[in-house]
Amino acid sequence: MEFIKKNITLIVGISIPILMIVFVAASIYLPGLFIKPNVNFLYAYGDEYYSQERFTVQNGKLVKREVPRYESQSYYQPPREESKLFLHDVVKNESREVSFEEAQRLNLDSGTKSSDGFEVINGYQGGGFFPFFGGSGSDYNTRYLKGHNVSKKINLQQRGESYYYDFRFLGWIK
Amino acid sequence: MATKEEVLEYIKKIAENKVLTKEEVDAAFESGSGITTDVVLKKKIGIAEILYYIGGAVVFLGIAILLAQNWSLLGFGTKVLATLGSGIAAYVVGVLFSRDERTEAAGSAFYLISAMVMPIGIWIVFDYAGFDANSYSSHTLISLILLIAYSLSYYVFRKNIFTFFSIIFGTWLFFSLTSMMVDSGSYFDDWKFYEYRVLVVSIAYMLLGNAFSKNERAPLQGFFYGFGIFGFLSTALALGGWSPEQNIFWELIYPGLVFGALFLSVQIKSKPFLVWGTIFLMAYILKITSEYFSSGMGWPLSLVLAGLAMIGVGYMSFSIKKKFLSA
């Protein structure tokens, strides 16, 4: 007791950063224990720019549109890629590849927020310890389900480094 | 066996007769209780010590440039030898020099070299071991290792310089651990989170400075007061934001914080509080004038009023220094 009384400023000085660490940990991990997302979603993966088809949702159903190949001898023709469709189970946090026919049978809500208040967002690449040196921005290798102060990393089916056009959220499963 | 009261009464008597000094009584008490007295430089840092530290920093710079210029040519062994090896060697030289009072200050310069070079050495080991050495988790581990190493050094050698390094590595650990927890999850606004962390560290530094002012770690007080109040006032000002995205809470509370700093400068007799309090009061006047009054009154008139207010602040600061802080 005498020690605490004598060194009160030292103890408070050391405790404040420790308390902030506890507060940050609690605000990140605690809400996730009580609030869990439960609406699955459909997404496409594969560079949309080079893809031979575009997926859209019309009247709650998935629609595929073939992209015509631009015919020209003078320009470089990049190889066409096939986009794959995945159904993400938010409870198990795992994605399963589905065929277009299977995906077409699903009723989809293409709104950004699910009925239980979650949305799919890009990860954030911080600027390190000193954000004013730049380098911060979206991290396309990670996606999160965010809502109600909960942020859960999504285990996506992706290959190597991801870019902006690779991941396309299509809709929440109704 | 004499009672506690009798012993205290006896000490009082011998103190009146000037038979023993307070330090001798303290030393006798500590040797009996098993507490080791801090072996610290109680004198203020002079020109010679500053030159030692500059020398230490130049040695570090030399090692860093050597590595940067020959990074691809040097093998793992050479890199580790040049960093971790020289860091450990500098630490050992520091220990040896600290044993002699004549070379003690130079010993601190070697401790400085070791503290600057060793993080690079551990980083290289992490990198070679296959970890992502730039990740927050690696930074957390590196800073934790160094915090433990320098805290143990303080425990063994009881030197101020180890207290200083322990706090610096502790700060690094705080930032890297909190960054690691947040990762890329977009839980908080990145800038705001950074600002609040600096605010917390600054408050901790000011409290540590105050705790050190009362004991043999007083030479560290100026550093922690200086960085603490600078970090606190600059972050609080930044948290206020700028119109139309300003934070009214921080903008309204800010004058209270600045005047609090000026008031405390007298209470704790701290020049860093007075200097930074004055500078940030001026910065606040300029910020508020340009933010809210430049369009209504016109920029030139706002500048005139802000300038007059700053002259007033300068005069107030000068008066406080002359009246309360002049030694």
Of A51-55, A107-111, B39-43, B135-139, which range is least confident?
A: B39-43
- A49 with A25, same domain? no
A17 vs B181: CB contact, 8 Å cut-off? no
Residue B247 confidence (pLDDT)? 87
ipTM surpasses cut 0.85: no
Residue in B200, B210, B198, B196 with CA at minimum distance from that of residue B272: B210
Same domain, A117 and A58: yes
Per DSSP, the three-state class of A109 is strand
Number of other CB atoms surrounding residue B140 within 10 Å: 20
3-state class (DSSP) for residue B246: coil
Whether residues A100 and A159 share a domain: the answer is: yes
Question: Do A143 and A86 fall into the same domain?
Answer: yes
Residue of B nearest to A140 (CA): B184
Instruction: Say yes or no: A146 contacts chain B, CB-CB below 8 A.
Output: yes
- The one-character DSSP state at B176 is H
pLDDT digits (tens, 9 = 90+) for B243-284: 888 888 999 999 999 999 998 988 888 889 999 999 999 899
C-alpha A118/C-alpha A104 separation (Å) is 23
Map residue A48 onto helix, strand or coil. coil
Question: Per-residue pLDDT averaged across B69-82, rounded?
Answer: 86
Share of chain A above pLDDT 70, in %: 74
C-beta atoms of B181 and A151 within 8 A: no
Nearest to B190 among A122, A126, A153 (CB): A126
Name which of B123, B184, B195 to mutate to probe chain A: the one with the most chain A Cβ atoms within 10 A of its Cβ: B184
What is the DSSP-derived secondary structure letter of residue B102?
G
- Beta-carbon contacts below 8 Å between A and B: 84
Does one domain contain both A29 and A95? no
Shared-domain flag, residues A103 and A41:
yes
Q: Which amino acid is at B234?
A: S
A13 to chain B: which residues are within 8 Å by CB? 203-208, 210-211
Put the strands of the sheet holding A108-109 in their side by side order: A94-98, A84-89, A41-45, A167-173, A108-109
Residues on chain A touching B204 (C-beta within 8 angstroms): 13-14, 16-17
> Does pLDDT of A71 surpass 70?
no
| Structure tokens belonging to residue B226 | 């200086």
Q: Chain B contact for A133, CB < 8 A?
A: no
Highest mean pLDDT among A24-28, A70-74, B202-206, B216-220: B202-206
Q: Is A22 on the interface with B (CB under 8 A)?
A: no
CB atoms A21 and B200 under 8 Å:
no
Shortest Cα–Cα distance, B116 to chain A (Å): 18
Alpha helices (H) in chain B, listed in sequence order: 4-16, 22-33, 47-69, 76-80, 86-98, 104-128, 136-157, 160-182, 190-212, 221-239, 248-267, 271-288, 299-320
B91-100: average pLDDT: 89
Question: How far off is chain B from A32, nearest CA to CA, in Å?
Answer: 12
Name which residue leads in pLDDT, A31 or B41.
Answer: A31
Question: Which residues from A are below 8 Å from B178, CB to CB?
Answer: 20-21, 24
The answer on A118 and A47 residing in a single domain is yes
Q: How far is CA A21 from CA A10, A13, B134, B177, in A?
A: 18, 14, 21, 8
Strands A53-58 and A137-147, bridge-based pairing = unpaired
Q: When comparing pLDDT for B320 and A140, which is higher? A: B320
- Interchain proximity B184–A151, CB inside 8 Å: no
Structurally, chain A folds into a number of domains equal to 2
Q: Residue A87's pLDDT is what? A: 92
**The pLDDT of residue B219 is above 70:** yes
Mean pLDDT over residues B112-127, rounded?
91
Range of the domain at A12: 2-33
pLDDT tens digits for A7-60? 888 899 999 999 999 998 888 888 888 888 889 999 988 766 666 678 888 888
Same domain, A21 and A59: no
Q: Supply the mean pLDDT for chain B.
A: 85
Average pLDDT, chain A: 79
Shared-domain flag, residues A27 and A44: no
Amino acid in the structure at residue B122: I
pLDDT for position A130: 46
CB atoms within 10 A of CB B127: 15
> Does B165 score more than 90 pLDDT?
yes
User: Does A62 share its domain with A6?
Assistant: no
Examine the domain organization and report whether A22 and A46 are in the same domain: no
More confident residue, B237 or B49: B237
Are A12 and A88 members of one domain? Answer: no
**Model pTM above 0.90:** no
Is A28 in contact with B181 (Cβ distance < 8 A)? yes
Question: What is the arithmetic mean of pLDDT over B65-80?
Answer: 86
> Measured between beta carbons, which residues in chain B are less than 8 angstroms from residue A23?
none
Helices (H) and strands (E) in chain A, counts: 3, 10
